[in-house]
Structure 1
Amino acid sequence: MKIKNTNYIFLIVLLICGSCQKLDRELDTDLTKDQLETTFNSLQSLLTGVYSTLPYGLTQLDRATMASATDEAEFTNEINRVQLINQGAWTATNNPADVWGAFYQGIRRANLFLETADPAKVNLDIFKGTANYQIRIDEIKRWEFEARFLRAFYYFELTKRYGGVPIITDLVDENDVANLKRSTLEECIKFIVDECDVAAAGLPVSSGAYATVEQGRATKAAALALKSRVLLYAASDLFNNASWAAAYAQPQLISLPAGDRELRWKAAADAAKAVIDLQAVPVLNVNTNYRTLFTTPYATGVIFARRTEANNEFELANFSVGFDRGQGGITPSQNLVDDYEIRIGTTWVDFDWNDATHRAAPYANRDPRLALTVVTNGSSFQSRAVPIQTFPGGVDGAPKPNATKTGYYLRKYVNESTNLTTGVGNAVHSWIYFRIEEIFLNYAEALNEYAPGNANIKVYYDRVRTRAGVGLSGLSTAETQTKVRDRIRRERRIEFAFEDHRAWDTRRWMTATTVLNTPLRGINVANTSPAPTYTPFDLEARAFTPKMYLFPIPLNELNIAKGLVQNPLW
């Protein structure tokens, strides 16, 4: 949609991106489009605004994150609004996870930047006659591709939640908002994929091509990774099956046209392979230290992430209550913990509470990612002399306020070295959007759907599981397509726990009506001698109905833009 607007007033306040050169400082501008076209620095400020929409850390769901709206976790504070989702009580007027306005703000910022970023119109006189003159021109050209990638990213975040949404590529006058209509799902997918292709063609392969201070910018690898994810979703069940929506009058808004599913899976596989083929760049190699992957800015294997300034906000929210000022926060579920395999002898098998050997020492010899993701009873944390005690009366257990209800605390993403009271040890946080392990599993999943038995399924599945630091068994070549599908899905669950995949994977696979309706479970820990005993229990009933496969479009948006149509069953 291209709607001309003559009034371009834009306010950028405290846009701290922390990912681009000179883009991590406070900026406060109130400039017209013409004014923005006269200064390089103002244009740079505007790009900061586009980046600043990227979600990170605790900005989602009022500190609970979407993990607490899935079978991954419980949020300890019972009055948090995430419980509206868990109880099935959210509506088009009360959606705690609504992001419609936030991402359209990011899209508007990108559109304003793209209308403004013409090197021929930007005043670069102060650089003329210097070595920086051509550098500045090249930067502005590169920024255009960064903005187009970011806009595509925001459109995908909307599309995966709402289905087809209005595609707006220009600034929309307030008087024209009422005329906005939803684009079809097919149009949205095509737009995002095309923008990824354009961005990839104009961007360097990785942030390693930039100076260190510029790392975190959009890259060719990031654009192709987004394309991989988009086409994986487009091939998956949800966007190819409108039967859940009953007699919805406009299925084109929530489902793709009937077509050859194998071709869609092949397109997804090809898109993932395009990223894999960039692996000559060292940063795209797998990371062999699963722990530091989430605590080290721009770690190996990370394709695109947002860095924040050094702080302890995440730690305050998620440290055990056994630490001064710790708030408990996001606590992993027994549902998740049970899916980590256990090693018996030299064989990795499913954990089974009915097996006496498993039950006697439930956290011994488990998939090493469990101990790097979840804080369990008896484990060490920070340098505290007393191990974690989640049993009643324990240092980290009830009846302390906000003590874990599941019997676990979160370790992933948590910087254990910080002192919550003094702030000593605060660290930069890096919130990952794409990393190479996702691409490997995207490729394996897509291949298994259109070319089951393809040798590369095992190759890339194994690259995730058998890498140093994880060291699990690889995929058996004797597995059926169905079994391989199940293994890939569980590998995604484990590898990407708490990385904002589970809510969307269960929706696109259309398994959410089963797994997100399963009671959330915890573990009762009894401080018995000579060793604690553990009993799993149902903690909380959860409610997921078919309408929740997509988010409701906010009612206030429907009231303003009369041309919009609500999603089915809302």
Structure 2
Amino acid sequence: MRKIFIITTILITCFSCEKQLTKEAPFISENVVFESENLTEAYIADIYSRSAFQVASNENMGLISAVGAEHINFANWQTPNNAFIRLYSEETGPGPLDRWNFFNIRNMNYLLENIESSETLSQEYIQAKKAEVRFLRAYDYFEMVKRFGGVPIVTKVQNQSDPEAELYVSRNTEQEVYDFIYNETQAILDNFDNSAVGADGRVDKYTVLMLQSRAMLYAASIAKNGEEGPNGVTGIPGNLANSYYQKSYDASMEVINSGMFSLINAGDDKVSNYASIFLTEGSSNPETIFAEVFEPVIKGHNLDLLATPAGFNATWNSNFPVLYDFVELFDFTDGRSGKIDRSLFNSETEWDINDFFGNRDPRFRASVFYPESEWQGESVWFHNNTILSDGTKVNSTTQTITRIDGTEMPQASEPRNRRNTALLLRKRVDENNPDPSAGQSGQDFIVFRYAETLLNFAEAAFYLGNTGEALDAINQIRERAGMPLRIGITEDNIRQERQVELCFENHRFWDLIRWRIADQYLDQVRTRGLVYSYNLDSDKYIITLKNAETQIRSFGPERYYLPFAQGRLADNPNLVQNPGY
């Protein structure tokens, strides 16, 4: 498959931020960077890499899913677990969730100010590159505004010699930042043709529209569900909600009407079909609108090494335990709710594992390892022990027992598989990776895909009163997933569908934030995992609950915005703190 890589061959981001590109970097003068397409592409490649769409990598790539209570990491020393355990205050700052990308924005501003002076690059090329970089700048502002609310909008290169009034920039309002994102993306749309190259990792027209679709939906949600803060820089007036919903609706509609994208929907096996979305790369995937491109060794990651269950060819393994609380969102294919009366998880009730898990939403089965999942031609085990005919419990991980159907299984599973929740992340993991060692995974990270377009469209349409359109969009997704179609549409339907369809894709935490319901799921909550005992005679499991985390989660109302650390406030006296800290 075709992938585009631009290797940065020059050092243009050394020295301090203040001296960035104000002196010669080794061997290359900044004065000639924009006289060569190769050097310009290398400069922009560095900007792309600093935008880091996946947010975190390797052990930390589960950061947003962990704080959003989808899955956790194997051990509390890992950054994602620390991110939801830690205290958030002015003293401790935003921690791992921080995104203060003004170093990258300065590099973008430098290009935007200087590329026009090129004597060799064509005007057509210059305008194309400026549009690309303006998108990346708008995307970085979106990443900051959803964390902090209003942030300073800086559109020129700052230098040490500038007046203090220009160096110590005050925060713009949250509304102004969202308006800036919309105006920037709107202004650059005409610089892109109708070709779709986002799946290969370069910004195109549809990538720009998807940032509009997502960011304007966030702005609408904050206006509808949030409150304006006392310092004037957080919150959006409620009477503006519909105007932002309309902007999101219009952008989504343009992507839909382009006819350039569709849901992957091949064959009757809905589980493998859904799984294939995240393993089909480049132009071969009609659902991918924009992806961050990875390739083993060149720019690889460790997902397969970390996520593969114990007992298979991965030396680390079992790193992302999925929380049962999140699993409850996945309903059964016959229409039953995924939320089962928890009092039934006792030492007396037995469960057919093929019904308890195997008959759930195919998106669950494609995204989570559960007892007896098939992987690389074998079953994945999670049980603590086996109950024999005389009531004896045996728990050897090396000795087997013979089941009713004549097959063999271990008396107990590998301890790492069952340590936290006895459920593990499967989504995006490549079953065919022959070498899951460090840096040998190359699955692209999909930033925007067509299913999100339909979900954004459905949510905006619903609040604009177009419930028929919302229902149709939701049912397109459910039909692809093999789930019963809705006959009506509600806010809860839309929110559940979004969490299920986009599970583990860095959405749920931010959705709970913008809907202003994060406290319901993340405050004073002790998330749960499962414990399985296999009954040899009945061929069923006894399932009980256990605490998945070492402590109760805490999420106060102030956490809808992250705090600025003392050091950041000291650096800029005009940077006012967020409310509640």
- Name the CA distance, whole Å, in 1 between partners of 2:453 and 2:224: 20
Secondary structure in 2 aligned to 1:259?
helix
Could you tell me whether the CA contact under 8 Å between 1:343 and 1:349 is conserved in 2? no
Map of 1:539 onto structure 2: 548
Q: Structure 1 pair 463/514, CA: closer, same or farther in 2 (3 Å)?
A: same
Map of 2:454 onto structure 1: 440
Map of 1:5 onto structure 2: none
- Name the CA distance, whole Å, in 1 between partners of 2:277 and 2:224: 32
Map of 1:460 onto structure 2: 473
Map of 2:384 onto structure 1: 391
Q: Structure 1 pair 401/362, CA: closer, same or farther in 2 (3 Å)?
A: closer
Q: Structure 1 pair 236/487, CA: closer, same or farther in 2 (3 Å)?
A: same
- Once the two structures are TM-superposed, the CA of residue 427 in structure 1 deviates from its matched residue by 4.7
Secondary structure in 1 aligned to 2:516?
coil
Aligned pairs (5 A) from 1:310-329: 310=296, 311=300, 313-323=302-312, 324-329=314-319
- Name the CA distance, whole Å, in 1 between partners of 2:146 and 2:108: 20
Could you tell me whether the CA contact under 8 Å between 2:145 and 2:151 is conserved in 1? yes
Aligned pairs (5 A) from 1:297-446: 297-298=281-282, 299-310=285-296, 311=300, 313-323=302-312, 324-344=314-334, 347=335, 349-353=337-341, 361-383=355-377, 385-391=378-384, 393=395, 394=397, 400=415, 404-420=419-435, 426-446=440-460
Secondary structure in 2 aligned to 1:523?
strand
Residue 138 (structure 1) aligned to one of 124, 127, 134: 124
Q: Aligned pair 1:41/2:38, yes or no?
A: yes
Map of 2:484 onto structure 1: 473
Could you tell me whether the CA contact under 8 Å between 1:19 and 1:217 is conserved in 2? no
Aligned residues: 516
Deviations 1:332-387 (A, max 9, x none): 1101212111133xx4544424687977631121111111100001111123x453
Identity rate of aligned residues, in percent?
A: 24
- Name the CA distance, whole Å, in 1 between partners of 2:249 and 2:436: 48
Could you tell me whether the CA contact under 8 Å between 2:323 and 2:423 is conserved in 1? yes
* Mean CA deviation greater in 504-513 or 359-368: 359-368
Secondary structure in 2 aligned to 1:532?
strand
2:309 partner letter: S
- Name the CA distance, whole Å, in 2 between partners of 1:421 and 1:72: 24
Could you tell me whether the CA contact under 8 Å between 1:240 and 1:257 is conserved in 2? no
Q: Structure 1 pair 389/400, CA: closer, same or farther in 2 (3 Å)?
A: closer
TM-score normalised by length of structure 1:
0.83
Deviations 1:160-186 (A, max 9, x none): 111000111111114557521111111
- Name the CA distance, whole Å, in 1 between partners of 2:575 and 2:437: 50
Could you tell me whether the CA contact under 8 Å between 2:462 and 2:470 is conserved in 1? yes
Could you tell me whether the CA contact under 8 Å between 1:269 and 1:442 is conserved in 2? yes
TM-score normalised by length of structure 2:
0.82
Map of 2:78 onto structure 1: 80
- Name the CA distance, whole Å, in 2 between partners of 1:337 and 1:32: 55
Could you tell me whether the CA contact under 8 Å between 1:352 and 1:359 is conserved in 2? no
- Once the two structures are TM-superposed, the CA of residue 242 in structure 1 deviates from its matched residue by 2.2
Residue 160 (structure 1) aligned to one of 146, 156, 159: 146
Aligned pairs (5 A) from 1:194-343: 194-208=183-197, 215-237=200-222, 241-242=226-227, 249-250=230-231, 252-278=232-258, 280-281=259-260, 284-288=261-265, 289-298=273-282, 299-310=285-296, 311=300, 313-323=302-312, 324-343=314-333
Secondary structure in 1 aligned to 2:207?
helix
Unaligned runs of 5+ in 1: 1-17, 125-135
2:486 partner letter: L
- Once the two structures are TM-superposed, the CA of residue 443 in structure 1 deviates from its matched residue by 1.2
Map of 2:106 onto structure 1: 108
Q: Structure 1 pair 435/286, CA: closer, same or farther in 2 (3 Å)?
A: same
Q: Structure 1 pair 463/421, CA: closer, same or farther in 2 (3 Å)?
A: closer
1:387 partner letter: V
- Name the CA distance, whole Å, in 2 between partners of 1:322 and 1:36: 51
- Once the two structures are TM-superposed, the CA of residue 544 in structure 1 deviates from its matched residue by 0.9
Q: Structure 1 pair 159/403, CA: closer, same or farther in 2 (3 Å)?
A: same
Residue 501 (structure 2) aligned to one of 495, 511, 518: 495
Deviations 1:242-276 (A, max 9, x none): 27xxxx531x3111134253343333322322222
Residue 533 (structure 2) aligned to one of 526, 529, 532: 526
* Mean CA deviation greater in 530-539 or 427-436: 530-539
